[in-house]
Amino acid sequence: MFITTYNGSMQYKEILDDYIAHGNKNLSAEDEKAKVDAYMQGPFGAGLDKIIGIEEGTEDWITKTIDKIDSMLSNKYSPEERRALYGKYPETIEKAIDWELQGYMDFLRDNSIDGKPTIEGKMIGLGTKEEEADLRAFMDSMSSLYPNNNKESLSLLDRTDLSIDEFKTLFAKAREKATKDVEEQRKQIIKEEQEYNANFAKEQNEKKFKPMQVKKKYETYDINKDQKFLYARELLNFKEKRGIDVLELMQKIDKKQILNKMV
């Protein structure tokens, strides 16, 4: 057990005994802080039975302890002050002890139901030493099974109506089922991933070797919109109306221009 010393001599239990015997002392701020620090680093709840007056492990001790602490602190603090008590580092040894009392009461409430320790409560010391050792060894043996955060198995830790053996049986079944479910899910994920990769590779391969599909745009040919045809038709119309062959005339003009250039 690790206990920090105060001024080289006083330890956690000695500080507690001194407070029980003599109450608050007029200490300097520095000495008070050193004493508080030493007390706060001691084993949580180890000597509170001396203040509470109820021995741990006796009949209905959890309920009696909760009620006794609640009564003690209610006489000293308002509900608001009690809520703030555990959220602030104590400045005096009296506040340090009250801080520990409030925390111990909350600890008992969280790990018991109607005065009976839960399975988890027994595992952390609210039952017998044999129960604690048995449960810790069992939980260590289950650590290789996953998932460790399985709700069905973890909910069993909050039960008070199970014997240790009943808990072990139900917990092992729940954890094994959860492990099997996770393995099946893992296999399904791998299968789906493989199918996706295969389909993707097939699509890429088909794109690589598939000939390009060229879309041609076809339009109906309208000769009446052809500029060359329109020009030729105008020449013919001109010849019919005037009796002049324009093409022949143009050829003669071109020939004359060539002769003029030669002269």
Helix (H) or strand (E) holding 112: strand 112-113
Is residue 82 within 8 A of residue 134, CB to CB? The reply is no
Structure tokens at 179: 């492990």
* pLDDT value at residue 241: 61
pTM to 2 decimals? 0.62
Q: How far apart (Å, rounded) are the C-alpha atoms in residues 257 and 252?
A: 9
Neighbouring residues of 16: CB distance < 8 A, sequence distance ≥ 6: 39, 47, 50, 51, 97
Query: pLDDT tens-digit profile of 145-190?
Result: 655 667 888 899 999 999 999 999 999 998 888 777 666 666 777 7
Mean pLDDT of the chain: 78
pLDDT beneath 70, residues of the chain? 1-10, 144-149, 181-186, 209-263
Rounded CA separation 159/42 (Å): 31
